[in-house]
Structure 1
Amino acid sequence: MSEADDNLVLMARIGAAHGIRGEVRVKAFGDDPLSFTDYGTLVTRKADKTFEIERARVQKTVVVTKFVGIDDRNAAEELNGLELFITRDQLPDLEDDEFYHEDLVGMTVTDMSGEPLGKIVTVQDFGAGDLLEVRPRRGATYYLPFTKAFVPEIDLEAGIVKADLPDDYLSESPSESDD
């Protein structure tokens, strides 16, 4: 990843065309599905295309969006799969104990004594709260609830996330209480 890529933050991905008037379905990445509309001009990764939002509305799990200059279905279909970014300096400052998911990806996860458990590959939310997907040195990835109880310490500068796991959390055999 280049330094220019480090300055970009993924806000949304354009999906299929919606109707015949140039609207598209957009998958937004953020707590508020309409948050990507708050930053003005959005750019592609190579910054070779820019997009201004004319209007947007939430419809089920996507945001139906009309971009300025995209006026028919054919033009909308050509946008399918494009990722839209803003620059990091457009983001608001965070409060203590708030993090951008992008900043957590790649951080090392250790137990409370400092033993490495793996690296964060993504942050997921399947509806019950954020989960850190961790890839250990060997084996399949696993999820940690992104809560203060499971993740009591985060050091962004050092790139370390400390996890406080129950003794059998990473065990592959069922515990006695599962009987």
Structure 2
Amino acid sequence: MSKAARICVAKIGAAHGVRGEVRLWPFTEDPMAVIDYGPLSTKDGARQFEVARARVTKDHLVAMLKGVTNRDEAERLNGIELYIARDALPDTDEGQYYHADLIGLAAIDPQGAAIGTVTAIHNFGAGDIIEIAPKSGPSLLLPFTNAVVPTVDLAAGHVVIELPGEIEGDSPDSADSAP
């Protein structure tokens, strides 16, 4: 499988103050890593930005981008996603993956039968969720755990999915009955 050419590592938010600072929403494990990547560019590569300095706030960074000197310039950048070349990212440890490397992998069951294709990895605060688009029907949203995804084989281009069984709980009939 070929690696994605570009990876989104941050998104510029609203202007902060009057001297050209912006809110910066990093998508990296270490929020300050965006400074170490050097110039960041738009998805099409038409514009480049370099973080001159940044500081961590509650849930984002406040950053000064080189060449941005006032609030008006900073406001025009709101919403721009910042990318780097995939090859600029460090290798991952065993059992760790960049989301972009998982997108597009085939999802198969333990016997090798096709389930669908990985379309996204989400995290809504309680852990990673893998989204799989089957050939027909609605997408599957499954916990990205070792129990549900026991095997990720980037070289072979697939993930093995152990579909969970029924969830134990009350039967629909017992919900309406009173004690």
Structure 2 CA distance for aligned equivalents of residues 144 and 30 of structure 1:
23
Which of 60, 70, 73 lines up with 2:71 in the alignment? Answer: 73
Counterparts in 2 of 1:72 and 1:111: CA distance versus 1, 3 Å? same
Distance 1:18 1:178, change over 3 A: farther
| Alpha-carbon distance between aligned partners in 2 of 1:61 and 1:136, rounded to the nearest angstrom | 35
> For structure 2, which runs of at least 5 residues remain unmatched after alignment?
172-179
> What is the match of residue 86 of structure 1?
84
The partner residue of 1:178 within 170, 175, 178 is: 170
Aligned position for 1:43 = 41
Counterpart in 1 of 2:174? Answer: none
| Contact map agreement 2:39 2:49 (CA 8 A) in 1 | yes
Aligned to 2:169, the other structure's residue is in SS state helix
Alpha-carbon offset, residue 33 of structure 1: 2.2
Judging changes above 3 Å, is the alpha-carbon distance between structure 1 residues 57 and 111 closer, same or farther for their aligned structure 2 residues? same
Tell me how large the CA RMSD over aligned residues is: 2.0
Superposed counterparts of 1:5-154, under 5 Å: 6-154=4-152
What is the identity, as a one-letter code, of the residue corresponding to 1:144?
L
Unaligned stretches of 5+ in structure 1?
169-174
Number of residues paired by the alignment?
170
Identity %: 44
The runs of 4+ residues in structure 1 deviating greater than 6 Å are: none
Pick the structure with greater CA Rg: 2
2: distance between equivalents of 1:25 and 1:112?
A: 44
Question: How far did residue 141 of structure 1 move?
Answer: 2.1
Q: Which moved more, 1:137-146 or 1:101-110?
A: 137-146
Deviation at 1:62, TM superposition (A): 2.0
C-alpha distance in structure 1 between counterparts of 2:148 and 2:57, whole Å = 34
- Normalising by structure 1, what TM-score? 0.85
